């Protein structure tokens, strides 16, 4: 046994040559293609800043419709007409510990999705990721940087609004859990940043500016800063509407609020929103009609809504209507009556004559219930105005739970100090 004997063997020599070749060939042998995804480092390019902000908007808009329909069911704007366990549980305000970890849907499902928490957090994270990048770039590197900052901050602010209004606690990254009031304060800061950046963007930032003002007014009224809320709301031009946009395709871009009521029959308009009138005149803000069929549960009479007519119908995010209601709440008294009547005029409804401060407040709550129906406000109004949540059993005998705000999912709470 010696080395020369080895090299006298032709096969051994061939083997060694092959091994050497193999060693050389190993260069890159494990490289793989990843054409369907983008690594985080690839997003450092300034040219991709608009893509990040567009992505933020898309994430928020998907989260928003999830939030709207989920809180509509939670706060009884609609009834559960589904057989799906998730819908039944959510309808009874019973959240499973893992609920809230589902992403925005990307494929058609025949059951509704009632877990807006993760989509909202993804939107918030995306917005702040985009803001971090934008703040590190220069105007020279990113044309229209101020407008992009304003847009990202706006969606960040509204994400905080939803997370604070609907949920019992607010989580931000790995920091300590915040109270809803602290969450709303963060939202106010983001709206302020958006207002500053939108103003810097000039006329192209007007829509963002107005939306951010409505958002900040909403936060301020909830935080008890009535003068601040009134000051922001009063700036909103008549007829202003800033919407979350939707499309018929892909699935992730659909208005699921419309779809799950009118097309999938998982939800049915609650009796409290059927046939509403003002002074005998049908209230055009709350359009509900009998579909003359039962829901997917084969039990619940199906009433569909007429506010959103197609899967690509936009959802209002910040409106002059809401600004008027904020002004009414902030000003009270005759100011409130005037604000309500400006709304009634818009909708060709009889004028409101006013009453005691308590009656006016009750009327403001009722006007909000109707005007902002299926806009994602009712859960907040229930909590703010101590409107009782449903108790007892629902129309199918399912017993309501006693939750009011939405608990955070277990995955958010696990391992926190």
- Tell me: does residue 365 bind another protein (CB under 8 A): no
Stretch that binds another protein, among 118-126, 190-198, 267-275, 362-370 (CB under 8 A): 118-126
Q: Are 377 and 140 in contact (CB under 8 A)?
A: no
Site for another protein in 154-213 (CB under 8 A): 171-174
How far is Cα 373 from Cα 369, in angstroms, rounded to an integer?
6
Least distance (Å) between residue 398 CB and another protein: 6
Cα 119 to chain centroid distance, Å, stands at 7
Stretch that binds another protein, among 71-79, 196-204, 341-349, 400-408 (CB under 8 A): 400-408
Stretch that binds another protein, among 7-15, 315-323, 338-346, 351-359 (CB under 8 A): 7-15
Nearer of residues 78 and 337 to another protein, judged by Cβ = 78
- Tell me: does residue 23 bind another protein (CB under 8 A): yes
C-alpha dihedral (313, 314, 316, 320), degrees to nearest 10: -90
Site for another protein in 130-159 (CB under 8 A): none
How far is Cα 308 from Cα 142, in angstroms, rounded to an integer?
37
Stretch that binds another protein, among 109-117, 202-210, 332-340, 373-381 (CB under 8 A): 109-117
What are residue 178's DSSP bridge partners?
Answer: 170
How many residues contact another protein, by CB under 8 A? 96
Nearer of residues 87 and 149 to another protein, judged by Cβ = 87
Stretch that binds another protein, among 131-139, 257-265, 329-337, 342-350 (CB under 8 A): 257-265
Contact code string over 39-78 relative to another protein, x by CB under 8 A: xx--x-------xx-xx-xxx-x-----------------
How far is Cα 283 from Cα 268, in angstroms, rounded to an integer?
18
Site for another protein in 272-311 (CB under 8 A): 293, 296-298
Cα 47 to chain centroid distance, Å, stands at 27
Stretch that binds another protein, among 16-24, 202-210, 350-358, 368-376 (CB under 8 A): 16-24
- Compute the radius of gyration of the chain from its Cα atoms: 27
Least distance (Å) between residue 279 CB and another protein: 37
Strands 78-80 and 315-319: unpaired
- Tell me: does residue 85 bind another protein (CB under 8 A): yes
**Dihedral sign from CA coordinates of 11, 16, 19, 20:** negative
How far is Cα 75 from Cα 387, in angstroms, rounded to an integer?
9
Find out whether the peptide bond into 250 is cis, omega within 30 degrees of 0.
yes
Least distance (Å) between residue 340 CB and another protein: 33
Least distance (Å) between residue 235 CB and another protein: 25
Could you tell me the two tokens for 173? 């990254």
- Tell me: does residue 229 bind another protein (CB under 8 A): no
Least distance (Å) between residue 55 CB and another protein: 4
Contact residue for another protein among 46, 89, 284, 332 (CB under 8 A):
89
Residues 6+ apart with CB under 8 A from 223: 181, 184, 185, 188
Q: Where do runs of H (alpha helix) occur along 313-356?
A: 320-331, 333-346
């Amino acid at each position: 046994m010696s080395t020369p004997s080895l090299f006298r063997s032709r096969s051994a020599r061939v083997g060694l040559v092959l091994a050497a070749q193999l060693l050389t060939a190993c260069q890159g042998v494990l490289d793989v293609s990843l054409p369907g995804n983008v690594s985080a480092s690839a997003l450092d390019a300034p040219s991709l800043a608009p893509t990040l902000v567009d992505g933020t908007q898309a994430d928020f808009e998907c989260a928003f419709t999830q939030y709207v329909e989920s809180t509509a069911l939670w706060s009884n704007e609609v009834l559960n007409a589904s057989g799906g366990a998730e819908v039944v549980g959510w309808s009874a305000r019973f959240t499973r510990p893992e609920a809230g970890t589902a992403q925005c849907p990307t494929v058609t499902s025949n059951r509704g999705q009632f877990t807006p928490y993760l989509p909202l957090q993804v939107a918030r994270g995306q917005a702040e990721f985009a803001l971090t990048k934008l703040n590190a770039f220069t105007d020279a590197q990113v044309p229209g940087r101020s407008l992009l900052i304003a847009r990202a901050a706006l969606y960040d602010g509204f994400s905080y609004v939803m997370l604070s209004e609907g949920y019992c606690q607010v989580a931000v990254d790995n920091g300590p859990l915040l109270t809803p009031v602290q969450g709303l304060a963060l939202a106010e800061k983001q709206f302020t940043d958006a207002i500053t950046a939108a103003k810097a963007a000039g006329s192209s930032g007007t829509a963002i500016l107005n939306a951010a003002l409505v958002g900040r007014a909403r936060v301020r009224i909830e935080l008890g800063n009535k003068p601040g809320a009134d000051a922001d709301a009063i700036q909103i031009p008549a007829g202003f509407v800033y919407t979350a946009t939707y499309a018929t395709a892909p699935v992730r871009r659909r208005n699921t609020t419309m779809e799950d009521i009118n097309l999938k029959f998982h939800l049915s308009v609650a009796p409290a929103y059927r046939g509403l009138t003002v002074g005998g005149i049908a209230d055009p803000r709350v359009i509900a009609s009998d579909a003359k069929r039962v829901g997917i549960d084969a039990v619940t009479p199906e009433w569909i809504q007429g506010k959103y007519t197609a899967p690509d119908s936009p959802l209002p995010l910040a409106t002059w209507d809401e600004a008027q209601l904020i002004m009414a709440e902030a000003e009270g008294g005759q100011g409130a009556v005037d604000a309500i009547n400006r709304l009634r005029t818009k909708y060709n409804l009889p004028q409101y004559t006013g009453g005691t401060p308590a009656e006016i407040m009750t009327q403001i709550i009722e006007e909000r219930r109707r005007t902002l129906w299926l806009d994602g406000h009712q859960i907040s109004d229930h909590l703010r105005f101590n409107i009782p949540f449903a108790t007892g059993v629902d129309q199918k005998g399912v017993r309501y739970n006693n939750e009011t705000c939405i608990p955070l999912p277990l995955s958010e709470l696990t391992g926190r100090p």
